[in-house]
């Protein structure tokens, strides 16, 4: 198909491109002064804590290299945890430890690491190796969330997450990102995770893509991917909307996990959410964003905005649960 035909087809389907996302949504609805609320995961966590929004427990933090002396004994007492940068993006620099074998820490991928290896990784984080713009960063240690039993069958060596795009306080679209062997247990599409679109009304998966091709089963386990109900999905949407309200931003992505013990938990927020959610849902964002613009949001409760997002998504139509 010629480029002009491809462009015309995408426009007719209401697909949001990166240039329009940046000019019409990110720049217009996300004031720069509020970016630190989401770019700094420690600040996001503090905002959520004060608002009563569940996030992973913070176990330790190192702001400077000299604090690594204190971080070492703290890590040595832990059995499982997540070591991550406070200003990271796209899952870079995140190290998940799932257990111990004597004095060795075992990652989700099965790699054994010494305490010195962990501190070396933390030093790289502090130096800005994984930070946006390469600026000095903080090393965070959080509790490791455990995959919910209902989602364990469709994930490999990792915890699936749910991305909800929230526009002007209304949920517009959602997908779940499922770890694979190729992704190394990470819920990162660019590293090889599966992306599955979610119907906002039912909370069930409707379509799935892997390596930019449509699939019906998980590439590792062969488990069916379509028609899967995301546990606690209504609560997930509510948390995403409440967290978006706290950031002061109008166009954000909220990343959440359903933990087997705690239920829905907010991981982080993103002021520049990617556009892969449209491929996962086989649906363009623009019709939903335009419909939200037509409805006044002032004074609407969280529940009212959830209902509005569901109605708009249903009016936009959803793909059949087939690949």
At 212-233, the pLDDT tens digits run 899 999 999 999 999 999 999 9
Residue 150 — φ and ψ, nearest 5°? -70, -15
Q: Determine the Cα–Cα distance for residues 208 and 134; give it in Å rounded to an integer.
A: 34
What CATH number was assigned to the domain covering residues 3-53+147-316? 3.30.470.20
Q: Are 255 and 275 in contact (CB under 8 A)?
A: no
Confidence band (pLDDT; 50, 70, 90) for 323? Answer: very low
- What integer pLDDT is reported at residue 110 of this predicted model? 84
At 45-88, the pLDDT tens digits run 999 999 999 999 999 999 999 999 999 999 999 999 999 999 88
Q: 57 vs 183, which has greater pLDDT?
A: 57
Q: Determine the Cα–Cα distance for residues 228 and 208; give it in Å rounded to an integer.
A: 11
Does residue 197 have a pLDDT over 70? yes
Dihedral sign for Cα atoms in the order 122, 128, 129, 133: positive
Structure tokens at 305: 């905005």
Q: Determine the Cα–Cα distance for residues 226 and 13; give it in Å rounded to an integer.
A: 22
Residue 132, judged by CB atoms within 10 A of its CB (0-12, 13-18, 19+), counts as middle
Confidence band (pLDDT; 50, 70, 90) for 10? Answer: low
* Residues 6 or more apart in contact with residue 61 via CB below 8 angstroms: 42, 86, 138, 139, 140, 141
Section 121-140 average pLDDT: 90
Report the range of poorest mean pLDDT among 1-15, 62-76, 212-226, 274-288: 1-15
Closest CA to 165 of 21, 10, 13: 21
pTM of the model: 0.91
Dihedral sign for Cα atoms in the order 150, 45, 281, 160: negative
Does residue 91 have a pLDDT over 90? no
- What integer pLDDT is reported at residue 198 of this predicted model? 98
Does residue 191 have a pLDDT over 80? yes
Residue 265, judged by CB atoms within 10 A of its CB (0-12, 13-18, 19+), counts as buried
């Amino acid at each position: 198909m010629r480029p002009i035909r491809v462009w015309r087809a995408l426009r007719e389907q209401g697909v949001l491109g990166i240039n329009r996302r940046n000019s019409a949504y990110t720049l217009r609805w996300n004031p720069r002064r509020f970016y630190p609320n989401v770019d700094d995961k420690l600040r996001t966590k503090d905002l959520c804590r004060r608002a009563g929004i569940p996030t992973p427990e913070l176990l330790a933090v190192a702001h400077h290299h000299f604090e690594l002396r204190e971080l070492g004994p703290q890590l040595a007492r832990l059995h499982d945890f997540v070591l991550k940068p406070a200003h990271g993006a796209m899952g870079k620099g995140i190290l998940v430890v799932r257990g111990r074998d004597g004095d060795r820490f075992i990652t989700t991928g099965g790699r054994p690491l010494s305490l010195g290896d962990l501190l070396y990784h933390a030093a790289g984080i502090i130096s800005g190796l994984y930070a946006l713009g390469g600026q000095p960063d903080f090393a965070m240690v959080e509790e490791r969330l455990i995959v919910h039993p209902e989602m364990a069958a469709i994930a490999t060596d990792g915890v699936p997450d749910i991305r909800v795009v929230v526009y002007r306080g209304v949920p517009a679209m959602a997908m779940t990102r499922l770890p694979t062997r190729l992704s190394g247990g990470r819920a990162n599409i660019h590293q090889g995770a599966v992306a599955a679109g979610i119907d906002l009304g039912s909370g069930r998966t409707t379509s799935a893509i892997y390596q930019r091709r449509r699939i019906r089963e998980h590439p590792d386990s062969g488990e069916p991917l379509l028609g899967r109900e995301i546990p606690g999905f209504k609560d997930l949407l509510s948390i995403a909307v409440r967290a978006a309200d706290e950031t002061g931003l109008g166009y954000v992505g909220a990343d959440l996990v359903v933990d087997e013990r705690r239920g829905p938990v907010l991981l982080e927020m993103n002021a520049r959410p990617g556009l892969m959610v449209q491929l996962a849902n086989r649906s363009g964002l623009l019709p939903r964003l335009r419909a939200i613009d037509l409805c006044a949001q002032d004074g609407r409760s969280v529940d009212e905005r959830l209902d509005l997002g569901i109605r708009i998504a249903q009016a936009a139509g959803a793909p059949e649960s087939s690949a």
